[in-house]
Structure formats: C-alpha cells, structure tokens
C-alpha cells in the first residue's frame, strides 16, 4: 500500500546509482532501468502484472532489463545474466528501503506486454520490476525466515 506522492527525483537517482555501482560479471554492466512515471504507462504495467489488488496503486515503477549477451557464461555453460540482474536489482531495492521507500520485487508478470508498453528492444529480458513509493505504513515484520541452524554448514554440507 502506497501514498500517492511520487518519490523525489534525488532519491530516485540515489537508488538508481546504488544499482549502477553493483558488481557484474567481468564488469559488463548490462543492466538498464526504466523509471515509469507516466500515469497511463503505470496503469499498463499494473495490467501486465495483474496483481494490482495486492499493492494498491504505487505511483511509479522501476523495471529492470538486461540482454542475454549483457553478461557472461560460466564454466558449466550457464548464462549469468539472471545473476547480474538479481544483484543489481537487489542493490536498487535495498537503497530504496534505506531512503524510506516501499518496494516489492515482482517476478510474476507478462513480459511481452511490459516490453511492448515500455518499448524495450526484443534482445532484452525483463526479469523483475518493482512498484516504488512511500509506504502507507511501515512494515511491522518480515515473513518468517529459516534459522541459521537450518541453512549454515561448516566444512561439509
Ligand atoms: C525473485 C522474486 C520474485 C518475487 N515475485 C513476487 C511477485 O510476483 N508478487 C509478489 O507479491 N511478491 C513477489 N516477491 C516477494 C516475495 O514473495 C517476498 O519477498 C517474500 O515472500 C518474503 O516476504 P517479506 O519480504 O515481506 O519478508 C518476489 C520476491 C523475489 C525475491
């Protein structure tokens, strides 16, 4: 749930700068960010997400895009662009939180529709996007997480 106010330009720029500074495969820096402010386009992005009821009208979106060739391939032949995407986008979300803004990584959406609305070239993949705005109220807690005992291993799995 978001207030209607659009976050200040300097805040948005600091958030984008945090993403810009993220490490990427061989420093390839393949990420692009589309800041969606035009109310009609914001509406179209909501439609492509189709989860509007959960978030109630964020004033803007930031959409990430990366070319498959915008990153490397590891020793097992796996493309690394989704990893670069994840690192950069998480930098962006953490910086937004530090600025007092609300976000939610959205991974479920119609990628073709988003690309069409925002005129993103075919070679790019959109792997995530986030609404961005001032939260109506501060989150009281995050969902429960596994304990360190459950996930940390020493010297063997
Ligand atoms: C890769 C990724 C994709 C996600 N996609 C969605 C999504 O499409 N819709 C949604 O409501 N939340 C989505 N989330 C948010 C997670 O559901 C949420 O972060 C998780 O349940 C933990 O909740 P918390 O951050 O409130 O503790 C996504 C999170 C990640 C990291």
3-state secondary structure of 106: strand
Going from the Cα of 155 to the center of ligand 1, the distance in angstroms, rounded, reads: 31
Domains of the chain with CATH codes: 9-151 (3.40.109.10)
Measure the CA–CA gap between 66 and 2, rounded to whole angstroms.
Answer: 27
Nearest ligand 1 atom, CA 143: 27
Q: Alpha-carbon distance 1 to 4, whole Å?
A: 10
Condensed to tens digits (0 to 9), the pLDDT of residues 86-145 reads: 999 999 999 999 999 999 999 999 999 999 999 999 999 999 999 999 998 877 777 899
pLDDT tens, residue by residue, 87-102: 999 999 999 999 999 9
Q: What strands lie across the sheet with 124-132, from one edge to the other?
A: 31-36, 60-67, 124-132
Which residues form ligand 1's pocket by a CB distance below 6 Å? 51, 54, 104-108, 142-143
Indicate the pTM of the whole model. Answer: 0.94
């Amino acid at each position: 749930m978001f207030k209607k106010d659009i976050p200040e330009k300097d805040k948005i720029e600091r958030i984008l700068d945090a993403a810009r500074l993220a490490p990427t495969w061989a420093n390839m820096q393949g990420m692009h960010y589309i800041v969606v402010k035009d109310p009609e386009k914001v509406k179209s992005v909501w439609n492509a997400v189709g989860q509007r009821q959960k978030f109630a009208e964020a004033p803007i979106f930031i959409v990430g895009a990366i070319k498959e060739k915008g990153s490397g391939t590891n020793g097992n032949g796996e493309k690394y662009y989704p990893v670069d995407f994840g690192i950069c986008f998480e930098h962006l979300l953490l910086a937004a939180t530090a600025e007092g803004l609300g976000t939610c990584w959205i991974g479920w959406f119609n990628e073709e529709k988003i690309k069409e609305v925002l005129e993103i070239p075919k070679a790019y993949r959109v792997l995530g996007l986030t609404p961005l705005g001032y939260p109506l109220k501060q989150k009281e807690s995050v969902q429960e997480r596994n304990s360190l005992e459950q996930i940390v291993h020493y010297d063997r799995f």
